[in-house]
Amino acid sequence: VLNNKQWLVLNNCEFRLKVDSKEWFSDFRYLIGIMTGTSADGVDISLGKFSGSKLQEFTAELVEFQSFEFPASLKKLIELAIKNEARTREIAKLNFDLAYFFAKCVRSFLRKAKFPLKKLDAVAVHGQTVWHQPKSNNLGKNGFTLQLVSLSALTQLLKVPVVGDFRSKDVAVGGEGAPLVPIFDYNFLFSRKCDVITINIGGIANITYLPKDCKLSDVVAFDTGPGNTWIDGAMRILFGRNYDKDGETAKKGKLNKILLEKLKSNPFVAKAPPKSTGREEFSEKELRQIIKFCNENSIKDVDIVTTLTHFTAWSIAENIKRFANPNANIIVSGGGARNLFLLQLLKEYIQQNSSFEFKIFEPPEAKESFAFAFLGYLRMGGIASNIPNVTGARENISLGIIAT
């Protein structure tokens, strides 16, 4: 039995990892951000250089960026897990295989960047979401979410502190656990002169709305619905390709109004924020139902891709009109920004006043990994990074856990 004094010692020191925030903020810090989104296309890695210790006084520089494709076997396992078809052993294997693969990618990335591992202060890893069911998607019961990668294995393989599991704390206190990038947007893309909207088109699409000169509590951000997920799925099922390169297929087809009206009845689009979604809701199963409907109604394969692209653009624009402001400067990111037809439709549906800008974050895939490197930087310094009015969480938290 421990006496009181011993217990105090244990309680204060032994069981808490203390990162000295004064020390952490005393110099520039280099962090790698590793992002793997719901598209399961591969890994995006950014090296960021950060400084500062206060909101809107931070600096961030994107030093290097590179993408790595998933090996086919790993991609297959991820798809199985997302479809709720992986067995326990496969999930355990995936958790470790991701760590082995990420460690290999980071080493190759650093070699190419000619940046020594020793100079790296930490690695922030999002992990592969295989399930995301926050409270709002769970009929008011406790929420849950899972981003796979063994943080212990990764820190051991790289011998660098690893920050990960960014979504769990927020979900545990009633939040959506998403979106988490708004703190990055608020710090680095905010304007004192005009409203700004950032749109990220990954597997799922999301926006951050930063009203002119806003406070942190005025930030609005949420998922708008599908990004590339149904376009990618239809390309795979109907054309045997992973995605619609530059939107070329969608551009060739015709919009089918009956199908578009049917898709528009999806309740997620009109739902008021906070809201987040995933491939549990915009699933392959649902997509196969849509394709079945199209086949029964003699809708051509190419027209299906065109109409799904319209639906994606419409759902993003509709959310901007309902819950943000179409007349804002818009910055688009994510791999979907390379789908030129989707971008053209997005502009048409938003009907932005021509005096506002519509820009692309360069390179578009880098934004999320760069933002997670920043979230890692905040966690190492102990600074809160969720925005409670965005995620709906009951607490303001420094997201993520540190593995060393």
Binding site for ligand ADP (CB under 6 A): 37-39, 41, 44, 202-203, 228, 232, 243-247, 334-336, 338-339, 365, 368
- Residue 336, binding choice from ligand ADP, Mg ion, none, Cβ under 5 to 8 Å by partner class: ligand ADP
Q: How far is the CB of 42 from Mg ion (least distance, A)?
A: 6
Q: State which residue, 29 or 167, has the beta carbon closest to ligand ADP.
A: 167
Per residue, what are the HEC states of the chain?
CCCHHHHHHHHHHHCCCCCCHHHHCCCCEEEEEEECCCCCCEEEEEEEEEECCCCCCCEEEEEEEEEEECCHHHHHHHHHHHCCCCCHHHHHHHHHHHHHHHHHHHHHHHHHHCCCHHHCCEEEECCEEEEEECHHHCCCCCCEEEEECCHHHHHHHHCCCEEECCCHHHHHCCCCCCCCCHHHHHHHCCCCCCCEEEEEECCEEEEEEECCCCCHHHCEEEEEEECCHHHHHHHHHHHCCCCCHHHHHHHHCCCCHHHHHHHHCCHHHHCCCCCCCCCCCCCHHHHHHHHHHHHHCCCCHHHHHHHHHHHHHHHHHHHHHHHCCCCCEEEEECHHHHCHHHHHHHHHHHCCCCCCCEEECCCCCHHHHHHHHHHHHHHHCCCCCCCHHHHCCCCCCCCCEEEC
Picked from Mg ion, ligand ADP, none, the partner binding residue 334 (CB below 5 to 8 A depending on kind) is: ligand ADP
Instruction: Choose from Mg ion, ligand ADP, none: what does 245 bind? Cβ within 5-8 Å by kind.
Output: ligand ADP
Binding map of Mg ion across residues 9-48, x = CB under 5 A, - = no contact: ----------------------------x-x-x-------
Nearer CB in complex with ligand ADP: 155/228? 228
Is 336 or 400 the residue whose CB approaches ligand ADP more closely?
Answer: 336
> Between 164 and 392, whose beta carbon lies closer to Mg ion?
164
Could you tell me the smallest distance in angstroms from the CB atom of residue 326 to Mg ion? Answer: 27
Nearer to ligand ADP, 245 or 322 (CB): 245
- Which residues from 210-249 bind Mg ion, rule CB under 5 A? none
CA distance 124 to 370: 10
Quote the least distance from Cβ 265 to ligand ADP, whole Å.
Answer: 24
Kindly tell me which of 245 and 288 has the beta carbon lying closer to ligand ADP: 245
Q: Minimum CB separation from ligand ADP for residue 339, in Å?
A: 4
The tokens for 98 are: 């991701």
Q: Which does 175 bind (CB under 5 to 8 A by kind): ligand ADP, Mg ion, none?
A: none
- Report cis status (omega within 30 of 0) of the bond before 274: yes
Sign of CA dihedral 233, 234, 237, 241: negative
Q: Which is nearer to ligand ADP, 246 or 280 (CB)?
A: 246
User: Least separation, in Å, of the C-beta of 266 and ligand ADP?
Assistant: 19
Q: What is the 3-state secondary structure (H, E, C) of 93-141?
A: HHHHHHHHHHHHHHHHHHHHHCCCHHHCCEEEECCEEEEEECHHHCCCC
Shortest Cβ 333–Mg ion spacing (Å): 12
Smaller CB separation from Mg ion, 134 or 364: 364
Q: How far is the CB of 244 from ligand ADP (least distance, A)?
A: 6
Contacts with Mg ion by CB under 5 A: the residue count is: 3
User: Smallest gap, in angstroms, from Cβ of residue 119 to ligand ADP?
Assistant: 27
Output 58 or 102, the one with its CB closest to ligand ADP.
102
Could you report how far apart the first and last alpha carbons of the chain are, in Å? 30
Q: For ligand ADP, which is the closer residue by CB, 58 or 314?
A: 314
**Does the footprint of Mg ion cover residue 121 (CB under 5 A)?**
no
**Burial (CB count within 10 angstroms: exposed 0-12, middle 13-18, buried 19+), residue 124:** buried
**Nearest distance in Å: CB 43, Mg ion:** 7
CB of 36 to Mg ion, least distance (A): 6
Which residues form the interface with Mg ion (CB under 5 A)? 37, 39, 41
